[in-house]
Amino acid sequence: MKQTDLRTAYAHLGMHPGDMGPQEAQVIFEQATARGGGVFVEVSPGTGRATAILGIAARNVGAKLYAVDALAIKNPAENRWFNLAVLCHQLTGVVRQVEPGAVKAILNGGGADLLLLNGDCDFSTVPLKDDCAIILRKGTAISIPAECVLDYRPAISVWRRALPSASST
């Protein structure tokens, strides 16, 4: 499949509802592309605006994207917009929507290479690889040992999960 560049992906979002602007889209797209594949996880995707950008980057690099959301209590209109974003951007084979309790089983002992958090939300059910990139949108900080590598808070920040020290093994 032909790769889609960020400018085209963002332009195709058009009037799709959501609060992700072009700077955030660029950070998400670049971080995902830099990972070069693997497993991406997005927590609390909302209407799917950021999901579309992350999903397109995932498709470009051959990664899978799991969108973790409590579907039973999700706003039906928000869910329709999310599904429309996945459909319109041809991400059906890339993006999979899952319940929070199913994440560990789906990742089957593996961990996420990239985690996108939309606000201050619980991501304790998501296993992470030691060098996982964590993108925090609309939040202040994360609750695991990590180093901030890109800081545009409160809009967006990027963290690298801290590798275990030699003395702790």
Mean pLDDT confidence for 100-109: 90
Task: Tell me what pLDDT residue 38 has.
Answer: 95
The answer to whether residue 165 scores a pLDDT higher than 60 is no
Nearest alpha carbon to residue 131 among 38, 53, 64: 38
Mean pLDDT confidence for 106-121: 92
Mean pLDDT confidence for 134-160: 90
Residues in Cβ contact with 26 at an 8 Å cutoff, skipping those fewer than 6 apart: 6
Task: Tell me what pLDDT residue 1 has.
Answer: 60
Q: Which residue has the tokens 């789906």?
A: 106
pLDDT band of 143, cuts 50, 70, 90: confident
Tokens found for residue 79: 């869910």
Task: Tell me what pLDDT residue 136 has.
Answer: 96
What confidence tens digit (pLDDT) does each residue in 22-73 have? 999 999 999 999 999 999 999 999 999 999 999 999 999 999 999 999 877 7
Tokens found for residue 15: 């009037």
| Residue 57, helix vs strand vs coil | helix
C-beta separation of 24 from 50 below 8 A: yes
| Residue 131, helix vs strand vs coil | strand
Task: Tell me what pLDDT residue 168 has.
Answer: 45
DSSP 100-130: GGGHHHHHTT--EEEEEEESS---TTS-EEE
Task: Tell me what pLDDT residue 169 has.
Answer: 42
Task: Tell me what pLDDT residue 56 has.
Answer: 97
